[in-house]
Amino acid sequence: MRLTSKGRYAVMALVDLARFDGINPVSLRDISLRQGISLDYLEQIFSKLRKKEIVQSVRGTQGGYILNRKAKEIKLTNIFDAVDEKVKTVQCKKESKKGCNGKSTKCLTHNLWDELETHINNFFDKKSLDDLVKENLERRL
Amino acid sequence: MRLTSKGRYAVMALVDLARFDGINPVSLRDISLRQGISLDYLEQIFSKLRKKEIVQSVRGTQGGYILNRKAKEIKLTNIFDAVDEKVKTVQCKKESKKGCNGKSTKCLTHNLWDELETHINNFFDKKSLDDLVKENLERRL
DNA sequence: TGATACTTGACTATTTTGGTCAGGTTTATA
DNA sequence: TATAAACCTGACCAAAATAGTCAAGTATCA
């Protein structure tokens, strides 16, 4: 089970953005340089973040991106959701009425995976972008 | 982030095995039929489980597999470890002294991923095979 | 009017996943 | 002792996901 780099980069980029937020828009070029993420890839990611209204874009010279909500109100869940980073533990969800492996009952471990998903999502629901920025500032001191 | 089917199947198969454990060895053929998992694939998985001493094999006619420890003492962690299902949230662990993206500091979100890993592994450390069997029996009533 | 920056979509190489297939070896039992 | 059931091993492969790159724009500010 692994986290994809899209999700990881999205969070890294947003933490970077959040630290500079409030003064000027932050350009993807700057984030790319600071975080070592390819500019093209960042563009893909921010396109998704914009569609989900997590960031706003500012065009033109000195343009860039700004947060669309307060950092405290942006949870990891929102970010992962935006970039399609999903926690998938079972493949049998859709046909859960029919049962899992085409059988009439749920597979022996169905409940387990549901619990696991909930457990992980709890973590994501609690953490906000603001938490991350603060943790980061503390570490720097 | 998704769970691979190898890990899922390993747990399913072991729960199946644990339910019949104690009387006779359970053949992979039976597990294959009951759980709808390819026999060849099961063999791959059980080979790994045996190497990690989670199960014991009994050869010959009427042979099969039995648990090598009590179900209560087999944690999900052990199972996932055996089949190489790992929780990977960062790729930067190895060079953690140097920092992540080749830079001198840890990446902004390094701590976050560590926390996440711990959070998930906590779940796996707590759950034993025995828990799963019991949950399953309860549901059946 | 140019430079900067966002926007979109197609494309692709690599890796991982989720197996299959073939050809064994071992052992209980008839 | 033959044979069938069961384990054991390793090679192989197709499909999907990942992790981007590339190209060709469009919008806007200075």
**A107 interaction partners in chain B (CB closer than 8 Å):** 12, 35
**B3, pLDDT greater than 50:** yes
> Rounded distance, CA B53 to CA B43, Å?
15
The pLDDT confidence band at residue A65, using thresholds 50, 70 and 90, is: very high
Q: Higher-confidence residue: B23 or A123?
A: A123
Among A3, A91, A108, the residue with its CB nearest the CB of B15 is A108
**A105, pLDDT greater than 60:** no
Give me the residues paired with residue B88 across strands: A2
CATH code at B111?
Answer: 1.10.10.10
The pLDDT confidence band at residue B97, using thresholds 50, 70 and 90, is: very low
> Rounded distance, CA A93 to CA A80, Å?
20
Query: Closest nucleotide to B27's CA, by C1' atom?
Result: D6
Note the pLDDT of residue B101. 54
Say which residue the tokens 């959070």 belong to: B119
Domain containing residue B129:
5-140
Residues 71-90, chain A, CB closer than 7 Å to nucleic strand C: none
Least confident window among A32-46, A89-103, A119-133, B123-137: A89-103
Q: Is the CB of A5 under 7 A from strand D?
A: yes
Both tokens assigned to A52: 């989900």
How many domains, in total, are found in chain B? Answer: 1
Q: Specify if A141 maps to a domain.
A: no
**A8 interaction partners in chain B (CB closer than 8 Å):** 89-90, 109, 113
> Rounded distance, CA A55 to CA A71, Å?
11
Which one of A98, A109, A114, A133 makes the best mutation probe of the B interface by having the most chain B beta carbons within 10 Å? Answer: A109
> Rounded distance, CA B47 to CA B61, Å?
18
Both tokens assigned to B132: 């799963």
Q: Specify if A93 maps to a domain.
A: yes
Q: Higher-confidence residue: A52 or B99?
A: A52
> Rounded distance, CA A114 to CA B53, Å?
28
Note the pLDDT of residue B68. 92
Note the pLDDT of residue A84. 85
> Rounded distance, CA A38 to CA B94, Å?
22
Q: Higher-confidence residue: A1 or A105?
A: A1
| 3-class SS of residue B66 | strand
Q: Specify if A67 maps to a domain.
A: yes
The pLDDT confidence band at residue A97, using thresholds 50, 70 and 90, is: very low
Nucleotides of D under 7 A from a protein CB: 4-11, 17-23, 27-30
Other C-beta atoms lying within 10 Å of the C-beta of residue B66? 18
Say which residue the tokens 């052990």 belong to: B78
Q: What is the mean pLDDT of residues A67-93?
A: 86
Q: Higher-confidence residue: B120 or A93?
A: B120
Note the pLDDT of residue A70. 93
Q: Specify if A73 maps to a domain.
A: yes
Among B88, B119, B139, the residue with its CB nearest the CB of A3 is B88
Contact B38, B32 (CB under 8 A): yes
Q: Is the CB of B140 under 7 A from strand D?
A: no
**A91, pLDDT greater than 80:** no
Q: Is the CB of B46 under 7 A from strand D?
A: yes
**B22, pLDDT greater than 80:** no
In percent, the amount of chain B with pLDDT more than 90 equals 58
Q: Specify if A66 maps to a domain.
A: yes
A53: region left, alpha or beta (phi > 0 left; psi from -120 to 50 alpha): left
Q: Which long-range contacts (CB under 8 A, 24 or more apart) does B100-104 make?
A: B101/A35, B101/A36, B102/A36, B103/A36
Both tokens assigned to B50: 């045996």
pLDDT tens track for B27-75:
999 999 999 899 999 999 999 999 999 999 998 888 999 999 999 999 9
Say which residue the tokens 């500032």 belong to: A137
Residue of B20, B73, B33, B65 lying closest to B46 (CA atoms): B65
Give me the residues paired with residue B65 across strands: B26, B57
Contact B120, B2 (CB under 8 A): no
Q: Is the CB of A29 under 7 A from strand C?
A: yes
